[in-house]
Amino acid sequence: MTLRIGIVGLGGIAQKVYLPLLCQEQDWRLMGAFSPNQAKAQALCAGYRIDCFGSLDALAQRCDAVFVHTSTATHFDVVASLLTRGIHVYVDKPLADSLERAEQLVALAARHKCALMVGFNRRFAPLYLQLKQTLRQPASIRMDKHREDSIGPRDLRFTLLDDYLHVVDTVLWLAGGAATLLSGTVRANEAGQMLYAEHHFQQGECSVTTSMHRQAGSQRETVDAVTSGALYHIEEMRLWRSESRGIISELPVPPWQTILTQRGFTGAVRHFIEAVSNQTSPSVSGEQAILAQSWIERLPV
């Protein structure tokens, strides 16, 4: 049976990523979308030639699985409503606006036997996957994700959950296991908006560092790993450089590889749809999302 897919929320991430991907309709059917902003929703849906639904309930009645791209504050209500209907859910990170509510959604998914996946796209970025498969007993892993000029307008906690969460999740996933927080610093301005964050973790024998500056003058994301006998550097999820015994190797970007594939979105969407179709648990399940979010909640600020 062809999987029936729906979209809730038609903001920037849905327009730039999920509508283009889901409209490709390979082994699924995109039934349509719902957004409370009906005027905007109708125009977008008309452009993609998909149905525009007038309510969440109307969309849910036609779908087996739904991609949720609403604001973080609405995640709990929207996701809970879908799960109680037996609808499988893919939702943008964070899962909910508090750890307690995220745990409630995980329990609800288990109760209704629904797949619940959180969109940590970097876990599906081909170069990050390759690095994880390559690393053997790393001594250190460092991830930097900086912003050119992106202070505010939301408060410190929102930015930690909305953006810094990606850094913490990705680097601890690369390190491959439970970690211990050794030290860290978070700086905010007088308005309570995030300026800079850096934290140091220990995972076995591996030292792990996360760093983000909100006004660094550059939009740059890098990962650096040091192992016995080799150094690795990945920039913007598309440039790979390694050095071993004096030999520097660089991997060319495949000419057919899209930006959405490079950044892991294509892989994340395919993984969720395959998990629902095959009735298996997605690798980035709700439980995994709670692990990452629990670190953000515990960071000293």
Determine the average pLDDT of the residues in 84-95. 97
The answer to whether residues 96 and 47 belong to one domain is: yes
Share of the chain above pLDDT 70, in %: 100
Determine the average pLDDT of the residues in 264-280. 96
Judged against a pLDDT cut of 90, whether residue 286 lies above it is answered with no
48 CB-near residues (< 8 Å, 6+ apart): 19, 23
Judged against a pLDDT cut of 90, whether residue 292 lies above it is answered with no
Residue 25, pLDDT score: 84
The answer to whether residues 246 and 271 belong to one domain is: no
The answer to whether residues 220 and 269 belong to one domain is: no
Residue 266, pLDDT score: 97
Q: Establish if 217 belongs to a structural domain.
A: yes
Determine the average pLDDT of the residues in 242-253. 94
pLDDT-derived band of residue 190, with 50, 70 and 90 as boundaries? very high
Determine the average pLDDT of the residues in 220-248. 96
CA–CA distance, 165 with 295 (Å, rounded to integer): 8
Q: Establish if 299 belongs to a structural domain.
A: no
The answer to whether residues 226 and 271 belong to one domain is: no
Q: Establish if 296 belongs to a structural domain.
A: no
Dump pLDDT digits (tens) for 141-181.
999 999 999 999 999 999 999 999 999 999 999 998 789 99
Residue 157, pLDDT score: 93
Residue 272, pLDDT score: 97
The answer to whether residues 159 and 231 belong to one domain is: yes
Q: Establish if 301 belongs to a structural domain.
A: no
pLDDT-derived band of residue 253, with 50, 70 and 90 as boundaries? confident
- What is the domain count for the chain? 2
Judged against a pLDDT cut of 80, whether residue 212 lies above it is answered with yes
CA–CA distance, 138 with 230 (Å, rounded to integer): 9
Q: Establish if 298 belongs to a structural domain.
A: no
Residue 298, pLDDT score: 86
pTM of the shown model: 0.95
The answer to whether residues 136 and 34 belong to one domain is: no
Residue pair 82/66 in contact (Cβ under 8 Å)? The answer is yes
Tokens representing 172?
Answer: 């601890």
The answer to whether residues 78 and 144 belong to one domain is: no
The DSSP string of the chain is -PEEEEEE--SHHIIIIIHHHHTT-SSEEEEEEE-S-HHHHHHHHHHHT-EE-SSHHHHHTT-SEEEE-S-GGGHHHHHHHHHHTT-EEEEPSSSSSSHHHHHHHHHHHHHTT--EEE--GGGG-HHHHHHHHH-SS-SEEEEEE--SS---SS-HHHHIIIIIHHHHHHHHHHHTS--EEEEEEEEE-TTS-EEEEEEEEEETTEEEEEEEETTSSS--EEEEEEETTEEEEEETTTEEEEEETTEEEEEPPPTT--HHHHTTHHHHHHHHHHHHHHT---SSBHHHHHHHHHHHHHS--
Determine the average pLDDT of the residues in 78-95. 97
Amino acid at 171: V
Cis amide leading into 20 (omega within 30) = no
Residue 146, pLDDT score: 97
Determine the average pLDDT of the residues in 29-53. 94
CA–CA distance, 291 with 25 (Å, rounded to integer): 32
Residue 141, pLDDT score: 98
Residue 166, pLDDT score: 94
Residue 76, pLDDT score: 97
Residue 206, pLDDT score: 96
Q: Establish if 36 belongs to a structural domain.
A: yes
Q: Which of 56-60, 200-204, 293-297 has the lowest mean pLDDT?
A: 293-297
What is the span of the domain harbouring residue 227?
126-254
We report the CATH number of the domain holding residue 171 as: 3.30.360.10
Judged against a pLDDT cut of 80, whether residue 138 lies above it is answered with yes
The answer to whether residues 9 and 85 belong to one domain is: yes
The answer to whether residues 236 and 182 belong to one domain is: yes
We report the CATH number of the domain holding residue 107 as: 3.40.50.720
Q: Establish if 292 belongs to a structural domain.
A: no
The answer to whether residues 146 and 43 belong to one domain is: no
Going 123 to 128 to 133 to 137, the CA torsion angle's sign is: negative
Q: What is the mean pLDDT of the chain?
A: 95
Strands 140-145, 221-227: pairing is antiparallel
Q: Establish if 260 belongs to a structural domain.
A: no
Going 11 to 258 to 220 to 170, the CA torsion angle's sign is: positive
The answer to whether residues 160 and 77 belong to one domain is: no
The answer to whether residues 145 and 249 belong to one domain is: yes
